[in-house]
Amino acid sequence: MTPQPHRTPVQAPPADGPDLTAESSDPYCMAPDTAAELLRGLPWNRLAVLGDSVTAGVMGPLPGYRDRSFADRFTDALAATRPGFAAVNLATPHLLLDEIRDRQLGPALDFEPDVVMVSAGGNDAFRGFDPDAFRAGLASLLTPLAESGARVITIGLFDLARSGLVPPEHAAGMARRFDGLDRVTAGLTHALGGIHVDTHHHPLATDPGIYATDRVHGNARGHAVAFAAIATAVAGDAERRDGGPTGRRNP
């Protein structure tokens, strides 16, 4: 049930597109040292990553271009700010939400993380989407993590339907599923005091160019863009909690 690209695979960047050999040419990406500086003050020493293929690594990037998943990038940025940082990436390709919960929740809790990054639901949307069932399943994954004291970060999903990556006759229904999935994920995450990174409404979310390779889950550019969104959202959340640039914490 892994989604496959509907439009012609992108094997090379378009002539009028960004230079795919240099992330600095892409306004939606972020340099590693910039991200590390944004995240420097966070008191996180242990990170667990849960989810399906989008956090498991890029399978086939364009040569010399963006060969790290957004989970890899986030781990590197945090590790650059503190000695002794530890992380475990439990993400595995093509899992449904209940499989993520059953296979990854226990090992994540055993790791005793300060923060968990969760990307889940994309494969569920391709199998059918019941908002109530999805909410219950996601709660059974996120609630134990939050109750353990870990800060939960959930990652929104680029809209595969509106990006032209499903047959046109299914696009409208699939778009509704992804909209519902994002609403449920964001609502539950906020209720648990976590951070939801809204990539669903990102300026590039409906741009087929976000998928810079010929496999959906090898979307190398998408990983670079998602990482920038994650670092920005997390840093913004930290600033709000600390009371802004003065560093005085809000009550």
DSSP class of 67: -
Determine phi and psi for 168, rounding to 5 degrees: -55, -35
Neighbours of 34 (CB within 10 A): 14
Q: What pLDDT, on the 0 to 100 scale, is given for residue 82?
A: 87
Q: What pLDDT, on the 0 to 100 scale, is given for residue 251?
A: 29
Q: What pLDDT, on the 0 to 100 scale, is given for residue 93?
A: 79
Are the beta carbons of 138 and 188 closer than 8 angstroms?
Answer: yes
Are the beta carbons of 122 and 54 closer than 8 angstroms?
Answer: yes
Q: What angle do CA 201, 202, 208 make, to 5 degrees?
A: 105
Closest CA to 115 of 37, 33, 197, 53: 197
Q: What pLDDT, on the 0 to 100 scale, is given for residue 49?
A: 94
Q: What pLDDT, on the 0 to 100 scale, is given for residue 18?
A: 43
Structure tokens at 156: 């929104």
Whose structure tokens read 């609403």? 183
Beta-carbon contacts of 162 under 8 Å, excluding residues fewer than 6 positions away, are 171, 175, 205, 206
Chunked into runs of 10 residues, the chain (251 residues) has average pLDDT values of 37 44 70 89 94 64 58 90 91 89 96 96 82 95 97 87 75 85 94 93 74 53 84 92 47 29
pTM above 0.85, yes or no: no
